[in-house]
Structure 1
C-alpha cells in the first residue's frame, strides 16, 4: 500500500464508503456470447460496447484513482482474510493491470456517453491460449470484477448474465458510486486515459450464421506466415504514423447530439472474413470512423486544416467488373431506365446481389421504401442483371467479400503512399479524410492505385459539408 503514497488508515476509508448505488439502467445484452476484444469493429453510439482491455491511466490524475483502488482492494482482502498468501510478483502485476484496465475503460465509457460495457466471464475464453487474448484476461478476471463491485468498494456496478448450460457468460458493467465520485472530484477528462499499442491487429473471423442476426462471426486462430506478417507490418507502420498525426476537432456549428469521441483512439485493425485472408480485410478503429458524416466533414482538422472526404464511387460494382476482366459500359453503374428516381435503391440491391449466394427473393432490409409501391424484387434484379450483362454471372455467387478484400488492399496501398508523401489520411472503408490542401494529390493516388489493382478506372468524388444522412457503403 505504501507504494501508492496513501495517507491514513485504508480500513477507515472502507468503513466510510458510500452505500451501494442501485437502479442503474443497463441495456439488454444482444446475446450471451464470448467477447474476444472486438473493440471498434461494430460499436454503435448509445449501445453497450465491448470492454477494451488495453485502456490505461495516462495521467497522474487517473493513476491516483487506480492506485487508491488497488490499495483499498488489498486492505479489503486482508481485513476479511480473503487471501492466505501474498500474490507472487507476476500475479500481482497482472492483478494491478486488470484493475487499471477495468477502471480506465469504465472512466472512458462514462466520459463518452455513459453506456454499459460488456465483458466475458467465460472460463473457456479467459483460460484459453489465443493470439487474441489480452494479458488482463485470466481465470481470476471475474473475481477481480466481483471484488471491485463489493458494496464496500463501490467501483463497479455489474449485471451478471445467468449461468446457462452451453452459453458463455457475459456481464454488463457500469461505474459504481465511488468511481463516479472520483471522476467528478478529479475532473477526469478523456486525455487522462490512453490505449496500449498492443494486441492483435490482424483478425480472422469465420462466416456469420445467416440464421442468427446477432452473430458477428467468431474469431479464428491461424498459423503465422509471410502474408500475415506482411499485413501486420504494414498496419504497424500505418498505426505509428496515425498515432503521431496532428488531429484536432472543432465542435462549433455542429448540431447536437454530438458523437462522443477521444482523439487518442486511432489504432486500426484489419478484419478478414469467412475464415480466409483474401476475404474482407477492411480497416476498423479510429475515432473518425465513429463520427457522423456531417460531424467529420465539419469539425475534423488535419494538420490544422479543414479535412475533406474523398470517396470511391461505385467501388464494389467497378471492382466486380475488374474481377471479370471487363470494362463498365457506362459511367453511372446505378442508373437504370425506368428506375431513375430509385438510384439509391438500385445501389443497395446491386450490393446485395454481389454478396448473396442465391437469387434475391425479397428486397434487402431497409430498401423496400426506396422503391415504388408496384416495384417487384424479381423485376429490379432482372433490370440490374440486364444492364450489367458482362458480369451477370458474377451476381448471386457470394463473392462480395472477395471484392471487399480487393477494396481493402487498395486502401492499404493508398495509405502507405500517403505516408510516404507525408500527407495524413484517415481511412473510412472506401473513403479517405485528408487535409484540404492535399485533396488533389490524394485523389491522384486513389485513382492510380485503383486502376493498377483492378484494371478498371475509378471514380473519386470530393464530398462537401452536408446535413446528416445515414452512411451507406459503396458495397
Structure 2
C-alpha cells in the first residue's frame, strides 16, 4: 500500500466488530449462499461487514480475530449467541475457500495476550460490497465484567446487575439525543466508518470508529462490581486538544475536569486535606510528580511504582527518559510531600478510586439530564457545549463535595469557615468538650444578643442551650486519623463500632434511594441488595480494624473506639426487633394444583377372561 504524506501511516489491526451488518443482497452478490442457520448467517454477515469497513479505512484493512475457545466463552452475554467459536471459524473458512478474504494464521499461545490471527477482504469482496449501506447494532449489554487480565467474564444476573444495567440504559438514552458533529479541518481525515485525527502534542495519528449516536459501556474489573466501573465512549479516544473541536448542539465544545481527583479522594479517605498544589514538589517537574503519584496509586508496593515508570521507557522509548536513581528519588520526594496519605500509596487504591470516580460521573450525568444539559463523560472530565460549561462545572463541584462528605463525615466545609491544615485532622462540625471554656451555668443564664432578638420572647426559659451544652460536653472526642491507639483499644470493640457506623451509613443510603424510588426516581433496593451492602460494610469494618491492629495507628477518623452504653442499648433493641420480625410465622405456601390435562387418570383395563374350551366331540 502506498502512503501519501497527507494520510496517517498504517496502524494496528482493527478488532473483529460484531456491531455492524449490511443487507443480505450484498452478501448474495459476493456469491455466498443465504441458506443456513440464522445465527450462522448473522455471524457471517457481521464478519464480512467488518472486513469491508476496515478496508475502507485505508490503513491496511487487516482485522484480527481469535482462534481460541476461551475467547468466545463469554461472548454469548456480550455479543449474542450467534458469535461462537464454531460459527466464526466456519465463516472464516468458507470465505477463505471462496477467495473473498486473505488470512494470516498466528501460532497458538496459552497466554491471553498473545498474537491473534488476522484476515482482510480481497478485491472480489470489495467489488460486491460497492456502495453498500451499513447498519449499526448497539451493544447487547451495557455493563461488562472483566477479570484481572482484562478479559471478559460471564456472570449471572442478580438484582444488583439488573439495576446497574437499567441505570446505564437510561444514561445511553439521554446521550443518544445529543447531536455531536466531527469537524472537517486540518488534522482530521474522514473515511467511511472511520476518522483519523492527528495529535497536536505528539504528532501521531489516532484512528477511531465513531458511532451514529453517543453511547457508553461501563466496565468493571477483577471480577468485582465494586472495582473500576468507568464509562467508555468512542469520543474518549480523541486527544484532549481535539475533543474541544467537536460541535455539540452546533456549538464549540468545552471540557471541565476534577483537578487532582484521585489524590483529593485519598486525602478525604485519610481524614486530611492537602495544602498548596498537589503536584508541587521542590526540585522536580510537576509533570513528573503527577506521573509518579498517579502511578504509585495503582501499584501494590511503592517500589512497584518505580518499576512501572521505568517500564514505560522500555515499552515506548522516550516516554520516561530518566534513570533509576532519579525515579527512586522522585518517589521518595512524593511520599515525603504527601506524608498524610503515604500509607495509601502503593496500596493498590487506584482501581477502587476509579469506582468512586465512576459513581460521581454517573451522578453528574443524572443531574445534567434533569437540567437538560448535554454532557459527554471522559472519566474525570465532561465535554459539553460552551454555553453550558459553567453549569456543568458547578454540578461537578457539588458532586465532589457530596462525595467527600459521604466518605468522611468530619470533612470541613468552606461555608463553616474551617481552614484546612496539612497533616492535621479534619475539624468536626461539633466542637469538642475542651473548646467549651464557658461553664454550663453561665451559658444557661446568658441572655441572647440584642442584635439578634430571640423568637421565644423574654418570658420563656432558655434551658435548651444549657441541655445542648451539657450534651456536647459529655460527648467524647472522636479519634483522629494517624494518632497512636490508646492502651484501652480492643479489637472486638473497635470492630463493633466500625460495623455500626458503616452499616448506619448504608441504611441511610438505602432509605434515600427508596424515597427517591417512591417519587419516581430509580428503583428501591431489594432485600438481597440490602443484605449484600450490609455484608460489604461489615467486611470493610473488619479490614479497617485489622489494619489498625497491625499498624498501631488510627485509620478511620470520626468513629469512637468503642460504643457507648446508650449505643449498645440501641443496637440490642434494633437486633431484638429484627429477630422478632424474623421469627414471625409466615403464611403457609399454598401448593400448586397439579394439572389435570396432562395427568388424566386412566381407566383400569378389564381383566382378560379365559375363553371356555368346548368339549371334544365323541367318536
TM-score (structure 2 length as normaliser): 0.56
Q: Secondary structure at the match of 1:355?
A: coil
Structure 1 residues not aligned, in runs of 5+:
1-22, 26-43, 76-85, 209-216, 459-475
Aligned to 2:226: 278
What is the deviation of 1:127? 6.2
1:402 aligned onto 2:352: yes
Aligned pairs for 1:46-445 within 5 A: 46-57=11-22, 64-69=25-30, 72-74=31-33, 87=36, 91=37, 93-114=38-59, 115-126=61-72, 130-138=76-84, 139-150=86-97, 153-163=98-108, 170-183=116-129, 185-186=130-131, 192-208=133-149, 217-254=150-187, 258=197, 259-264=207-212, 266-286=214-234, 288-298=235-245, 300-330=246-276, 332-339=277-284, 342-360=285-303, 361-362=306-307, 363-366=309-312, 376-445=326-395
- Distance (whole Å) between structure 2 residues aligned to residue 382 and residue 226 of structure 1: 45
1:78-105 Cα distance to aligned partner (Å, 9 max, x none):
xxxxxxxx74xxx2x1122112211222
- Distance (whole Å) between structure 1 residues aligned to residue 109 and residue 320 of structure 2: 42
Aligned to 2:423: none
1:6-31 Cα distance to aligned partner (Å, 9 max, x none):
xxxxxxxxxxxxxxxxx999xxxxxx
1:323-362 Cα distance to aligned partner (Å, 9 max, x none):
22322222x10011222xx100100000111111112244
In the comparison of the two structures, how many residue pairs are matched?
A: 378
Bigger drift between 350-359 and 166-175 goes to 166-175
- Distance (whole Å) between structure 2 residues aligned to residue 432 and residue 116 of structure 1: 33
1:148-204 Cα distance to aligned partner (Å, 9 max, x none):
122xx3432222234567889942121221222245x42x5xxx3243224222112
Q: Is the 8 A contact 1:345 1:371 kept in 2?
A: no
Q: Secondary structure at the match of 1:376?
A: helix
Change (3 A) 1:284 1:127: closer
Q: Secondary structure at the match of 1:383?
A: helix
- Distance (whole Å) between structure 1 residues aligned to residue 252 and residue 39 of structure 2: 43
What is the deviation of 1:109? 2.0
Q: Secondary structure at the match of 1:149?
A: helix
Aligned to 2:601: none
TM-score (structure 1 length as normaliser): 0.71
- Distance (whole Å) between structure 1 residues aligned to residue 225 and residue 279 of structure 2: 30
Q: Is the 8 A contact 2:74 2:153 kept in 1?
A: no
Change (3 A) 1:373 1:53: closer
Change (3 A) 1:196 1:158: same
Change (3 A) 1:55 1:122: same
- Distance (whole Å) between structure 1 residues aligned to residue 43 and residue 403 of structure 2: 44
- Distance (whole Å) between structure 1 residues aligned to residue 346 and residue 353 of structure 2: 13
- Distance (whole Å) between structure 2 residues aligned to residue 364 and residue 166 of structure 1: 24
Aligned pairs for 1:8-23 within 5 A: none
Aligned to 2:422: none
Larger Rg: 2
Q: Is the 8 A contact 1:121 1:169 kept in 2?
A: no
- Distance (whole Å) between structure 1 residues aligned to residue 322 and residue 94 of structure 2: 58
Structure 2 residues not aligned, in runs of 5+:
4-8, 190-195, 198-206, 406-410, 414-619
Q: Secondary structure at the match of 2:65?
A: strand
- Distance (whole Å) between structure 1 residues aligned to residue 271 and residue 186 of structure 2: 47
What is the deviation of 1:413? 1.2
What is the deviation of 1:316? 1.4
- Distance (whole Å) between structure 2 residues aligned to residue 163 and residue 378 of structure 1: 39
**RMSD of aligned C-alpha atoms?**
3.2
- Distance (whole Å) between structure 1 residues aligned to residue 75 and residue 48 of structure 2: 25
- Distance (whole Å) between structure 2 residues aligned to residue 249 and residue 255 of structure 1: 9
Q: Secondary structure at the match of 1:140?
A: helix
